[in-house]
């Protein structure tokens, strides 16, 4: 554990023996840990609350998004209850979600003070106290307790509504059946016993999940041994003598064949016991190699980012307890972050020093091939894919750069440690990319990341405020709040040496040897009680983090004693000097010695801004001239007023000076300038007479802005000859109108802090001319209003528009899956057209689509215009090809973004990009400026709707294709040159593979070439049949046209049909006989093989010949088909279709234990009485059973809701039959046997 801060209080000696005795005989598990102190100390919570109240960024925006989560609501529905005693998987979503809710409601409680949030936390904690068994690997066991403990730690130490009895039940639940440092329990256990050994058999991130929860539990339980178990393991240290050992080693492994080009894989056979506390992948040195490479970098990038971030979370907890795990092995974690972010960020972002993606290799010396400590993986190369899933869709390099990983780490390495920017360069770049794309850190992947870093971890100073130190030397974190007094010795605490961070002292030791004895600041016992800071030398300084609850006027004073004159002191807040160097006096009326304590006013009515900020005290002048006891900051002069005019936003066009317009004319009073046209306009340095403008009968109007430092009542004055008038934010404040000599008039107005518009009207009739404007107010004595801002010219001229402009806006619609706006230039649109206004109405789906909108907006007057977009999900808005709003990323519609641009009158190009992933979809676009109040953009204009160009596909006839041919290009082309796609109607004959035809078997299929079109081209498709032959020697299947016999006799004998290319064929026939036939009407189909005997295939009379028929299996070199049919009446018709000769095929028997992929099973098969057919519901509608000669033996309908049909075949002769099903994409034939 950390070394306790060395503090020698006067009362310590009386307690020292007692403390030593307790340490010797007491329970070693009962630690003196800092509380609250997991991820957030009390001062951290104070900072969050104060900055949210102050509306400071990024705290305010982060909080607005954070509080919208259902897990941050006091109406959250708790999943746990007292009946739950077992979680088979400790990562049960019920416990995880309740943990998020407990943590988030605890933060809401502290920030808002709404007790309902705290009560919800207590409800959650009490709901889980009966847990006695949690299952799963260390990863699962470690996911839940972390955030649950975060919430419990905050509530336990900031809310008195959680009883000690219930707190104990909750703590006991975490370690059931009880914690021990000497024995492991048997039987049911809970979380502690699932995480205390990490995971020696898996990747490092999994054991790190366990150790993060372990450390959180140790702090909540105030158990130093548990806390140190996690801390020591990550450092690679042996276990404490009063604790259980860590897993031993080394592991015993054997090779596997499941690796790839990125890593080799092994099976862990067992874990050896030769080395106690062996140290597996969770140890910092084993997880992040000396070059920054992560143990999991050859696995994938997601787990790499997660693993290092979990390590950072543990380090933040340790820092809060006074231990520097962040800095272990010369900031090894930062090295890992930089390595990982450089590899991922450079994939999509170029930088001057990294113009191409960085590829660390073994050959370049930037990648290490090493077997990890579990023995299961050996890294070969860095992996851009997901483990063994090396398909393009699993390429994930660069996809983790928007995760909430930056604020906590930059808060430490940049703002707390103040390392050189080169050390955290890639983390800073990642933070900038994230800020540009999504604004503030969000809470995604809550099980992995702490989230909402802009609220939780953004810092204002390196150290943390303290109110003092307890008897064990532990800092008592407490925000310094003004008005109030701050003890000089209680400068900010820093876990390491504070030199250069929270103070600077010219020597490196506390020469007086009191209080904070391990710091360099010289602290001595004060004669008035407490302590004093002395030996103050030129160049020394100290910082104190303070909270200013409201922007106001304050008085700063010190309690001091001086030995001589010449020493000086100066105060700064947020790095801005608020006082000059003030000489600390000595002598009569002041302090006359180092025991003569006096109060000295340093400055009165100093403006301090609301929020948390560092206060820096700088010492200069004569060294050792005075000592400092305390600093007081009290309220200054009253200044606030009610109903102040609200400040306006500053414009990017502000320049020094003031706009003016010059008019010529004769008036006795100020004219109505809106009815006049100026003779000239320009920018003056300040409001007053214009050089070069003299004579009589003229007028001036000045318009500009000025800044007010603080809310209060301000008095404005005009002294003019002749008349003048002064308006602030459109409100008349001074009326000095009329013809008169130089006369001063004044008026008062209440103004809020910020920028305000000022307009001064003046006219001169005759005689002397004069004009001066002055003001006075809080902190401002009466003086000329000289610091004004003119509005520069607007450079954004209107654009040319199409001649035939019409109302509406053009859109292009796309479909696809994105997490951010895609590059639309690379996409193929689904459709395009015009809309009356911006709308998502063309969308064909609720999720996974995108749209662009293109049109014009008509601006009537020059002004700054603010545009607003709220969208679900991402969007961007451009005016005249300039990006005004970037609202990209995944988010809800409640978050509105805005951007400002000056526009001159006329039409301006409006272009909007939008995409939707999942959830709700919406977009709203508004604007305001000039005389336009905030409103939806409804009046938009565009060109006429685009007429799509017709495309023509040329599809040459296929060559002869034989089974076994190589895949071949279908050969179609389209005149637009756009890509074609192909489909095959019969995949059993041919399929489309990578744009080519892949032959499967002989038969006929229809190949369709299609071009789906775009916003520019209309869709088109064309088709042709493909015949696939068994061998090159003959062309099968042979087919003949449909034969219709009505009131006639039909006879047909085919030419010999070559069947030598297949082993056997069958003749197939579909026959439809209508009513009206007589017994004299007949159909006869026969065949002749190799010129031999003519064999009857079908011979039937009347209307009994409906159905499908097939011949016996036919073998030979050729076959003739002979057809004779007669229909003697006009009302009776034979229609013969699908007359063909094709290769003889029949399915093998289908058994219930081996169902076909078609989803059809027949059992028993063979059968003697009945057989059952199992089918997928709704696929087939009818069935028939044929003899192999084509005779229908049985047929029936299949109900859409039926999944089973029982068929009676008891009357069938023994033999082979064909079961044929109809209604699917193609008929299905199966062989069945009657025994």
**Percent of the chain having pLDDT more than 70?**
95
Residue 569: C-alpha distances to residues 250, 465, 542, 579, 979 (Å): 62, 21, 11, 9, 76
> How many Å apart are CA 112 and CA 128, to the nearest integer?
26
What pLDDT score does 386 carry? 95
Element (H, E) at 1085: strand 1082-1089
pLDDT at 754 over 70: yes
Count CB-CB contacts under 10 A for residue 546: 25
Q: How confident is the model at residue 1029 (pLDDT cuts 50, 70, 90)?
A: low
Element (H, E) at 1168: none
> How many Å apart are CA 609 and CA 549, to the nearest integer?
8
What pLDDT score does 1224 carry? 63
Helix 328-348 with 425-438: angle, nearest 10 deg: 50
What pLDDT score does 1185 carry? 85
Of 137-151, 311-325, 1109-1123, the poorest mean pLDDT is in 1109-1123
pLDDT at 1226 over 80: no
pLDDT at 8 over 50: no
> How many Å apart are CA 760 and CA 416, to the nearest integer?
49
- 436-461 pLDDT per residue, tens: 888 899 998 999 999 999 999 999 99
Helix segments in 356-419, DSSP class H: 406-410
Global pTM value: 0.70
What pLDDT score does 522 carry? 96
Contacts of 1133 (CB under 8 A, 6+ apart): 1044, 1045, 1046, 1072, 1073, 1074, 1076, 1077, 1127
pLDDT at 1136 over 60: yes
Structure token digits, residue 1150: 């289908």
> How many Å apart are CA 263 and CA 388, to the nearest integer?
9
Answer yes or no: are the C-beta atoms of 783 and 776 closer than 8 Å: yes
Q: How confident is the model at residue 1031 (pLDDT cuts 50, 70, 90)?
A: low
What pLDDT score does 669 carry? 97
Count CB-CB contacts under 10 A for residue 97: 22
Answer yes or no: are the C-beta atoms of 1025 and 1004 closer than 8 Å: yes
Q: How confident is the model at residue 1104 (pLDDT cuts 50, 70, 90)?
A: low
Answer yes or no: are the C-beta atoms of 1178 and 1191 closer than 8 Å: no
pLDDT at 702 over 90: yes
pLDDT at 1013 over 90: no
Count CB-CB contacts under 10 A for residue 225: 22
Spell out where 709-803 has E strands: 712-721, 724-728, 731-736, 743-751, 754-764, 770-777, 780-784, 789-791
> How many Å apart are CA 296 and CA 209, to the nearest integer?
15
**Three-class secondary structure of residue 902 per DSSP:** strand
> How many Å apart are CA 760 and CA 2, to the nearest integer?
66
Contacts of 472 (CB under 8 A, 6+ apart): 4, 19, 32
Residue of 1000, 986, 1069, 1067 lying closest to 1030 (CA atoms): 1000
Structure token digits, residue 1138: 């699908």
Q: How confident is the model at residue 1146 (pLDDT cuts 50, 70, 90)?
A: low
User: Using DSSP, how many helices (H) and how many strands (E) does the chain show?
Assistant: 17, 69
Query: Which residue carries 């002769």 as its tokens?
Result: 1213
Helix 204-220 with 224-235: angle, nearest 10 deg: 150
Answer yes or no: are the C-beta atoms of 1121 and 1069 closer than 8 Å: no
Residue of 1013, 1008, 970 lying closest to 986 (CA atoms): 1008
> How many Å apart are CA 1229 and CA 1235, to the nearest integer?
20
Count CB-CB contacts under 10 A for residue 581: 13
Whether cis (ω within 30° of 0) applies to the bond prior to 803 is no
pLDDT averaged over every residue in the chain: 91
Structure token digits, residue 245: 């050992």
Structure token digits, residue 780: 């401002």
Residue 834: C-alpha distances to residues 143, 837, 1019 (Å): 51, 9, 18
* DSSP per-residue letters across 120-172: HHHHHHHHTTT--EE-S-HHHHHHTHHHHHHHHHHHHHH-TTS-HHHHHHHHH
Residue 716 sits at the vertex; the CA angle it makes with 769 and 736, to the nearest 5 degrees, is 45
Residue of 1166, 1170, 1155 lying closest to 1206 (CA atoms): 1170
* DSSP per-residue letters across 331-342: HHHHHHHHHHHH
10 Å CB burial of residue 939 (0-12, 13-18, 19+) is exposed
**Percent of the chain having pLDDT more than 90?**
73
Contacts of 1047 (CB under 8 A, 6+ apart): 1127, 1128, 1129, 1130
Mean pLDDT of 29-52: 91
pLDDT at 1225 over 90: no
> How many Å apart are CA 584 and CA 1197, to the nearest integer?
107
- 632-655 pLDDT per residue, tens: 999 999 999 999 999 998 888 999
Residue of 621, 789, 779 lying closest to 702 (CA atoms): 789
pLDDT at 138 over 70: yes
Q: How confident is the model at residue 17 (pLDDT cuts 50, 70, 90)?
A: very low
Element (H, E) at 93: helix 93-112
**Separation of CA 430 from chain center:** 13
β-bridge pairing 531-533 and 567-573 = unpaired
> How many Å apart are CA 221 and CA 170, to the nearest integer?
10
What pLDDT score does 427 carry? 98
Answer yes or no: are the C-beta atoms of 223 and 230 closer than 8 Å: no
**Separation of CA 910 from chain center:** 28
β-bridge pairing 1065-1073 and 1133-1143 = antiparallel
Answer yes or no: are the C-beta atoms of 209 and 96 closer than 8 Å: no
> How many Å apart are CA 708 and CA 800, to the nearest integer?
42
- 1035-1071 pLDDT per residue, tens: 788 898 899 999 899 999 988 888 877 778 888 888 8
Residue 1189: C-alpha distances to residues 253, 1165, 1168, 1184, 1226 (Å): 64, 20, 21, 14, 21
> How many Å apart are CA 778 and CA 783, to the nearest integer?
12
Query: If you ran DSSP here, which 8-state letter would residue 414 be given?
Result: I
Sign of torsion over alpha carbons 774, 775, 779, 781: positive
What pLDDT score does 993 carry? 94
Structure token digits, residue 524: 């001595």
Answer yes or no: are the C-beta atoms of 149 and 217 closer than 8 Å: yes
- The residue with greater pLDDT, 163 or 938, is 163
**Three-class secondary structure of residue 290 per DSSP:** coil
> How many Å apart are CA 58 and CA 439, to the nearest integer?
9
- 948-967 pLDDT per residue, tens: 789 999 999 998 788 889 99
- The residue with greater pLDDT, 1151 or 802, is 802
Residue of 610, 434, 464, 609 lying closest to 62 (CA atoms): 434
Q: Across the strands, what pairs with 698?
A: 664, 764
Distance separating the N- and C-terminal Cα atoms of the chain: 84
Mean pLDDT of 256-260: 92
Question: What are the structural domains, with CATH classification, of the chain?
Answer: 466-635 (2.60.120.260), 654-791 (2.60.120.1560), 806-942 (2.60.120.260), 956-1025 (2.60.40), 1038-1143 (2.60.120.200), 1161-1234 (2.60.40.3080)
What pLDDT score does 973 carry? 95
pLDDT at 803 over 90: no
* DSSP per-residue letters across 3-17: PPP----TTHHHHHH
Structure token digits, residue 57: 């960024």
> How many Å apart are CA 967 and CA 998, to the nearest integer?
5
Structure token digits, residue 213: 């929860």
Structure token digits, residue 582: 């003030």
> How many Å apart are CA 746 and CA 751, to the nearest integer?
16
> How many Å apart are CA 657 and CA 719, to the nearest integer?
20
What pLDDT score does 31 carry? 59
What pLDDT score does 694 carry? 73
């Amino acid at each position: 554990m950390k070394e306790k801060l060395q503090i020698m209080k006067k009362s310590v000696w009386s307690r020292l023996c007692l403390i030593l005795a307790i340490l010797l005989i007491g329970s070693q598990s009962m630690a003196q840990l800092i509380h609250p102190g997991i991820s957030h100390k009390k001062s951290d919570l104070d900072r969050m609350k104060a900055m949210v109240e102050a509306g400071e960024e990024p705290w305010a925006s982060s909080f607005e998004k954070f509080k919208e989560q259902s897990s941050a609501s006091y109406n959250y529905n708790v999943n746990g209850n007292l009946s739950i005693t077992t979680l088979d998987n400790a990562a049960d979503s019920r416990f995880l979600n309740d943990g998020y809710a407990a943590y988030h409601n605890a933060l809401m409680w502290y920030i808002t003070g709404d007790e309902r949030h705290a009560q919800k936390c207590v409800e959650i904690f009490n709901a889980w106290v009966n847990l006695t068994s949690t299952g799963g690997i260390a990863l699962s066991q470690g996911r839940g307790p972390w955030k649950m403990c975060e919430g419990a730690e905050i509530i336990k130490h900031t809310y008195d509504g959680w009883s000690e009895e219930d707190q104990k039940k909750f703590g006991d639940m975490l370690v059931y059946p009880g914690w021990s440092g000497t024995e492991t329990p048997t039987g049911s256990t809970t979380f502690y016993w699932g995480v205390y050994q990490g995971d020696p058999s898996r990747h490092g991130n999994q054991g790190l999940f366990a150790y993060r929860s372990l450390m959180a539990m140790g702090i909540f339980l105030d158990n130093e041994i548990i806390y140190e178990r996690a801390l020591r393991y990550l450092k690679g240290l042996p276990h404490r003598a009063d604790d259980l050992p860590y897993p031993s080693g080394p592991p015993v492994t054997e090779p596997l064949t499941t690796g790839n080009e990125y890593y080799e894989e092994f099976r862990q056979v067992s874990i050896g016991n030769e080395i106690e506390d062996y140290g597996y992948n969770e140890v910092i040195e084993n997880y992040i190699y000396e070059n920054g490479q992560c143990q999991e970098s050859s696995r994938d990038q997601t787990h790499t980012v997660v693993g290092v971030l979990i390590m950072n979370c543990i380090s933040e907890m340790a820092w809060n307890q006074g231990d520097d795990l962040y800095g272990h092995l010369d900031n090894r974690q930062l090295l890992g972050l930089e390595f990982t972010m450089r590899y991922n960020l450079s994939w999509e972002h170029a930088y001057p020093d990294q113009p191409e993606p960085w590829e660390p290799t073994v050959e370049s010396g930037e990648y290490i091939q090493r077997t990890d400590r579990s023995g299961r993986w050996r890294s070969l190369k860095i992996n851009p894919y997901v483990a063994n899933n090396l398909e393009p869709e699993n390429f994930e390099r660069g996809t983790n750069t928007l995760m909430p990983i930056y604020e906590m780490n930059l808060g430490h390495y940049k703002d707390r440690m103040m390392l050189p920017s080169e050390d955290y360069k890639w983390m800073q770049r990642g933070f900038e990319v994230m800020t540009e794309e999504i604004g503030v850190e969000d809470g995604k992947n809550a099980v992995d990341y702490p989230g909402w870093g802009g609220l939780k971890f953004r810092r204002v100073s390196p150290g943390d405020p303290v109110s003092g130190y307890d008897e064990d030397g532990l800092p008592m974190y407490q925000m310094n709040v003004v008005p109030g007094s701050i003890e000089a010795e209680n400068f900010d605490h820093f876990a390491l040496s504070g030199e250069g961070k929270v103070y600077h002292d010219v020597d490196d030791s506390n020469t007086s040897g009191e209080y904070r004895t391990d710091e360099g600041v010289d602290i001595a016992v004060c004669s008035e009680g407490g302590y004093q800071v002395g030996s103050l030398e030129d160049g020394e300084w100290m910082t104190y983090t303070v909270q200013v609850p409201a922007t106001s006027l304050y008085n700063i004073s010190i309690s001091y004693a001086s030995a001589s004159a010449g020493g000086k002191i100066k105060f700064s807040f947020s790095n801005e000097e608020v006082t000059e160097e003030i000489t600390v006096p000595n002598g009569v009326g002041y302090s006359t010695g180092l025991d003569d304590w006096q109060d000295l006013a340093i400055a009165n009515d100093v403006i301090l801004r609301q929020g948390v900020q560092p206060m820096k005290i700088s010492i200069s002048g004569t060294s050792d001239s005075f000592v400092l006891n305390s600093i007081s900051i009290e309220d200054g002069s009253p200044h606030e007023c009610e109903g102040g005019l609200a400040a306006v936003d500053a414009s990017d066009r502000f320049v020094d000076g003031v706009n003016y317009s010059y008019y010529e004319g004769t008036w006795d009073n100020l004219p109505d300038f809106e009815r006049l046209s100026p003779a000239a306009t320009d920018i003056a340095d300040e409001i007053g007479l214009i050089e070069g403008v003299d004579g009589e009968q003229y007028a001036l109007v000045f318009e500009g802005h000025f800044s007010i430092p603080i809310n209060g009542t301000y008095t404005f004055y005009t002294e003019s000859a002749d008349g003048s008038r002064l308006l602030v934010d459109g409100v008349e404040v001074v009326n000095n109108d009329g013809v008169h000599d130089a006369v001063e008039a004044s008026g008062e107005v209440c103004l809020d802090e910020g920028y305000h518009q000022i307009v001064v009207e003046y006219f001169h009739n005759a005689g002397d001319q004069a004009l001066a404007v002055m003001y006075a107010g809080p902190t401002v004595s009466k003086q000329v209003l000289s610091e004004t801002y003119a509005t520069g010219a607007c450079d954004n001229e209107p654009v040319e528009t199409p001649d035939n402009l019409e109302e509406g806006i053009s859109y292009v619609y796309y479909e696809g899956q994105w997490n951010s706006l895609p590059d639309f230039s690379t996409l193929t649109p689904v459709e395009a057209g015009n809309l009356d206004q911006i709308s998502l109405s063309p969308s064909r789906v609720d999720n996974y689509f995108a749209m662009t909108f293109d049109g014009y907006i008509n601006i009537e007057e020059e002004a700054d215009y603010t545009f607003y977009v709220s969208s679900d999900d991402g969007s961007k808005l451009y005016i005249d090809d300039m990006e005004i709003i970037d609202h990209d990323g995944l988010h809800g519609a409640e978050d509105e973004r805005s951007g400002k641009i000056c526009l001159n009158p006329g039409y301006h190009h409006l272009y909007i990009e939008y995409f939707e992933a999942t959830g709700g979809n919406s977009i709203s676009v508004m604007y305001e400026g000039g005389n336009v109040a905030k409103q939806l953009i409804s009046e938009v204009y565009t060109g006429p709707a685009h007429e799509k160009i017709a495309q023509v596909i040329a599809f040459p006839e296929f060559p002869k294709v034989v089974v076994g041919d190589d895949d071949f290009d279908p050969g179609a082309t389209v005149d637009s040159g756009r890509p074609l796609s192909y489909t095959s109607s019969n995949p059993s004959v041919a399929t489309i593979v990578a744009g080519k035809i892949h032959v499967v078997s002989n038969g006929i299929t229809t190949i369709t070439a299609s071009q789906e079109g775009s916003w520019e081209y209309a869709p088109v498709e064309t088709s042709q049949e493909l015949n696939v032959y068994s061998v090159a020697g003959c062309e099968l299947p042979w087919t003949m046209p449909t034969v219709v016999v009505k009131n006639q006799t039909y006879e047909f004998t085919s030419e010999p049909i070559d069947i030598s290319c297949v082993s056997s064929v069958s003749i197939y026939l579909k026959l439809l006989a209508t009513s009206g036939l007589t017994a004299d009407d007949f159909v006869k189909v026969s065949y002749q093989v190799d010129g031999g005997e003519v064999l009857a295939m079908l011979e039937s009379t009347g209307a009994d010949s409906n159905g499908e028929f097939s011949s016996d299996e036919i073998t030979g070199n050729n076959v003739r088909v002979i057809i004779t049919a007669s229909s003697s009446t006009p009302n009776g018709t034979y229609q013969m279709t699908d007359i063909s000769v094709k290769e003889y095929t029949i399915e093998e028997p289908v058994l219930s234990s081996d169902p076909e992929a078609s989803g059809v099973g027949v059992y028993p098969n063979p059968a003697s009485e009945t057989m059952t057919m199992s089918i997928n519901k709704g696929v087939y509608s009818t069935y028939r059973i044929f003899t192999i000669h084509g005779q229908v033996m049985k047929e029936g309908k299949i109900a859409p809701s039926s999944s089973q049909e029982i068929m009676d075949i008891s009357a069938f002769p023994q033999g082979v039959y064909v079961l044929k099903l109809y209604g699917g994409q193609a008929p299905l034939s199966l062989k069945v046997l009657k025994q």
